[in-house]
Amino acid sequence: MSLVITSMNDNFGIMYDASKPPSIVYPGSIAVGGYLGGNTPHAWTVQEWNNASGNGRLRMLPIWVGYLESDPIGHAKQAAATAINLGWKAFAHNRRYIGLDKETQTDVVWQSAFAAQLSLEGFSCIDYRSLSAIVSDPTPSNADNWVADWDVPPNFNEAPRIEAIQFAANISFASTEVDLSVISKRMFEHLGRGPRK
């Protein structure tokens, strides 16, 4: 798959994510996103994180699904505690990202409260939504953006604070499907490191 990136000075590499993790690393990727918990059908196990990251060779983005959930503060506390239990350190260098996936739901008050509590817990929030949702209802200022904008050249100037753009979805790989994002150098620096213990 060829990729043309527009308006990005610090493009850095490809991250893949999947609902059901593959047992091997997606070729050419430098990072992997997987599910930590919340309203998701499958939270990744330690072994799945290690397999999908090449035993920690890739950087990792844990994702919390806040779709149709109440209590953003409680969810942020759960997300942080789960990340810590998987071996990511709170208040680590550059504060590790935890992705927030609200699917099609937009609730900026909820998102802002979640991001604020994550910060108190020692992590940063990157909000995953479609470009059209972010443009019509901007992400709160205390979170960065991971934008879904498929099948067009990724453009990091489409909205403020974009650190990743998911440009392709549902690619068959290793008995599952993966989505692909291009990430910035800054995002790479905010991702988890090393194998899960």
CA distance 135 to 161: 12
pTM score, two decimals? 0.93
Task: Give the residue, 174 or 107, on which the prediction is more confident.
Answer: 174
Query: Which pLDDT tens digit goes with each residue over 115-156?
Result: 999 999 999 999 999 998 888 888 899 999 999 999 888 888
User: How far, in whole angstroms, is CA 9 from its chain's centroid?
Assistant: 21
- Quick one: which of 21, 29, 176, 183 has its CA closest to 97? 183
CATH 1.10.10.10 corresponds to the domain 11-189: no
Q: Torsions phi, psi of 154, nearest 5?
A: -60, 130
| pLDDT tens, position by position, 101-119 | 987 777 889 999 999 999 9
